[in-house]
Amino acid sequence: MTPLLTPRSMPWLFFAALSAGLAFPGHAAKKTTYEPFVVLPAHRFETDGICGDLSGTATAGNFLKGLQRIETEQGVEFRRKSKVVREFPDDIEFSLEGKIGTCPGSLPNSATSTVLNDFVNSLRITADWTDGDNGKIVSNLSVTTTPPVVGWMTEYEEPRWGVSITIPSKGVSISSALDVSILSASGHKVMNFTFAL
């Protein structure tokens, strides 16, 4: 005969159920720990008779190293050790580099250094912060370009070039996303990427 639950046994039943709920939560928190840099995806472009590619990294001093993104049922939170992080640091720097030449990408190269330098120096960079439905144009970004550099076998090498972009981010919510576009003088896309943690 199955024993009946008595009033004396009810507290133990409640305690067991509570313990089981604590031991087996619905979803475990998902944690991502960042390195000192974030790798940006490589991008190949063909515009205004010039072909090339760019790839690189995003850095922010020591800000990213050890930063944790924690996803729970309640939402996303960023922490460093036990401290909650709510904003980006003063600046974020994007360092990009790649190869560049004439289209189609064939060797020997037919583009002169003057043509390639003019293309690189005439690039226009735009950036926008977005957080949900709110957007803000970045007006005071800093850009440094590295002109195409070739080795001693000039005709049979694709020159290397680079772009460094510094974005002011002081006071920007860490949940925001940054959209960056690199455009040629004619307005055609060279590269665009979104940076978000």
What is the tens place of the pLDDT at every residue in 154-167? 556 778 999 999 99
Average pLDDT, the chain: 83
181: pLDDT strictly greater than 70: yes
130: pLDDT strictly greater than 80: yes
Cross-strand pairs, 167: 92
User: Quick one: pLDDT band at residue 102, thresholds 50, 70, 90?
Assistant: confident
The pTM of this model reads: 0.80
Query: Residue 106 has what pLDDT?
Result: 53
CA-CA distances (angstroms) from residue 6 to 20, 91, 127, 141? 21, 65, 68, 72
Q: Give me the residue spans of the domains in the chain.
A: 37-62+87-195
59: nearest Cα among 76, 36, 33: 36
* CA within 13 Å, CB half, 191: 25
Q: Pseudo-torsion of CA 46, 47, 50, 55, nearest 10°?
A: -50
Residue appearing with tokens 């840099």: 37
Third-level CATH fold of 37-62+87-195: Immunoglobulin-like (2.60.40)
